[in-house]
Structure 1
Amino acid sequence: MTRAKLSDYLAEELQINRFRDYCPNGVQVEGREQIKRIVTGVTASLALLEKAVHLKADAILVHHGYFWRGEDMRVIGQKHKRLKLLLEHDISLFAYHFPLDMHAQLGNNAQLAQQLSLLPKARFGEDDLGWIGIAEDASLRTVGQLVAQIEARLGRKPLLIGDPEQLVAKIAWCTGAAQNMLDQAISAGASVYLSGEISEPTVHLARESGVAYLACGHHATERYGIQALGQHLAEKFGLAHHFVDIDNPV
């Protein structure tokens, strides 16, 4: 398929014009016009680009791309190295930030719910970015059991702020750097809130509110949306798809 057709399809499917975001969503770097092989990954790091070159990708799709609001606009240093590699190999870069978080089936929050067997019941926060629901398994009763499930499913132990013996009722979640949504999760009636990252004020708010907080890893919680998107495109358009997981401890 053509780069333009893929771009148009993703713009409509992910409703990119709906969001006020910190970066441009869609094609960030133009490569060759015809796309037959795509590589997906969480972040457009140099390591991901190099792997895509090795896999002979025509396009790379990521959640975290380039040209973030407030960043240095000069094409120097690592930005120069990354862009040079893309341009030299004529590879397109597509990036989708909030639109990929939000999609009801392919998005990061939807896919994390599938990974952790959570049943969404409602949304909360600006643009309904946060999700809230219950555990699919009724035998999952305590925060400690939820911690164990997350560790088993995501491959890393989350940082818990709270009592592992606390009972689980409503579970709220938002992937990535959404620790500042804890207060909104509390207002939505959550007994547990899980996200990717944590910050110093989050600890105090969790302790004072009695709502358990689980920091599960920014990268770890956002591996699944981009994979689902790539697989969707492969099935719909007959594209070859490779997901590349560049490990990140954050």
Structure 2
Amino acid sequence: MPINRNELQNYLNKLLNSSQIQDYCPNGLQVEGQTEIQKIVSGVTACQALVDRAVDENADAILVHHGYFWKGEPAEVIGMKKRRLQQLLKHDINLFAYHLPLDVHPEFGNNAQLAKLMEWQFDGAVDPADPACPLVTGSLAEPVSCDEFATLLEQRLQRQLVCRVDSLNTIKRVAWCTGGGQGFIDRAAQLGVDAFITGEVSEPTIHSAREQGVAFFAAGHHATERYGAKALGEHIASQFKLDVQFIDIDSPA
């Protein structure tokens, strides 16, 4: 049976604790479409290609990690922004987006889902008092070399690493933050982990890893965040008997 749009929004907001998380964009329903929802397309980013696929699939809603209306972006509805919104409004498609709430959720979040994929023990956020903290820690069942760790990342993510910095130590205890979390390298080093994993890399990240003796692996923003929206979509499909289809619009970034 279809679910009412407001009922779905209230459920997702409560499940992901979105009202308690300060973010760079609005979380929840970003674009209002039809009232009753039966078919949902989930994905990483609400790019034009995903919106067009949702139209082709006759979806009533789109559920993503990267939505619209980011702080600091131009306010004008022109060009790319106009075309995306025009397609959603023309076909009466709802857009739900959850950024940090979908990074940090202990079960369906990107960090938790990456741990599940890699078979790491998931200890949780390094600051439990901060509901928006996206830096988490965990451990491997057995210590491995940097080469072995890199190979396993590439195999499981089915993507070549963007960048890596090896250390002299074997890897047992790890910290990670999916997506653009390279700014957490110093905080990860202070935790005494053997390796830090994220999606992206910046020039200072390399020096921080080298000088603090922490192995560093940038595995791709998109590659490390393909799993939260998929897991959340599967959950609501089961919870409400909805038709939810995950569509991965690939990105090398």
* TM-score, normalising length: structure 1: 0.96
Equivalent residue number for residue 241 of structure 2 = 238
Is 1:160 matched with 2:151? no
| Matching of residues 206-217 of structure 1 within 5 Å | 206-217=209-220
Equivalent residue number for residue 224 of structure 2 = 221
Equivalent residue number for residue 144 of structure 1 = 147
In structure 1, distance between residues paired with 2:109 and 2:22: 17
Q: CA RMSD in A?
A: 1.1
Q: Per the alignment, in what secondary structure is the counterpart of residue 21 of structure 1?
A: coil
Equivalent residue number for residue 24 of structure 2 = 22
Equivalent residue number for residue 14 of structure 2 = 12
CA deviations 1:72-107 (Å, max 9, x no partner) are: 011000000000000000000000000000111000
Equivalent residue number for residue 56 of structure 1 = 58
Q: Per the alignment, in what secondary structure is the counterpart of residue 13 of structure 2?
A: helix
CA deviations 1:53-86 (Å, max 9, x no partner) are: 0011000000000000000011000000000000
Q: Per the alignment, in what secondary structure is the counterpart of residue 128 of structure 1?
A: coil
Q: Per the alignment, in what secondary structure is the counterpart of residue 31 of structure 1?
A: coil
Structure 1 residues not aligned, in runs of 5+? none
Q: Per the alignment, in what secondary structure is the counterpart of residue 53 of structure 1?
A: helix
- TM-superposed CA distance for 1:122, in Å, is 4.4
CA deviations 1:7-29 (Å, max 9, x no partner) are: 00001000001111000000000
In structure 1, distance between residues paired with 2:21 and 2:92: 29
Q: Per the alignment, in what secondary structure is the counterpart of residue 169 of structure 1?
A: strand
Equivalent residue number for residue 139 of structure 2 = 134
CA deviations 1:167-223 (Å, max 9, x no partner) are: 112111110000000111111111100000000110111111110110000000000
Check whether the contact 1:147–1:157 (CA below 8 A) recurs between aligned residues: no
Equivalent residue number for residue 202 of structure 2 = 199
CA deviations 1:199-250 (Å, max 9, x no partner) are: 0110111111110110000000000000000000000000001101001001
Equivalent residue number for residue 46 of structure 2 = 44
In structure 2, distance between residues paired with 1:149 and 1:191: 16
- TM-superposed CA distance for 1:108, in Å, is 0.3
Alignment length, in residue pairs?
Answer: 247
In structure 1, distance between residues paired with 2:175 and 2:165: 15
Check whether the contact 1:123–1:129 (CA below 8 A) recurs between aligned residues: yes
Structure 2 residues not aligned, in runs of 5+? none
- TM-superposed CA distance for 1:142, in Å, is 1.0
Check whether the contact 2:106–2:124 (CA below 8 A) recurs between aligned residues: no
Aligned-partner residue type, residue 18 of structure 1: Q
Is 1:117 matched with 2:122? no
Which runs of structure 1 show a deviation greater than 4 angstroms over 4 or more consecutive aligned residues?
none
Equivalent residue number for residue 175 of structure 2 = 172
Check whether the contact 1:142–1:166 (CA below 8 A) recurs between aligned residues: yes
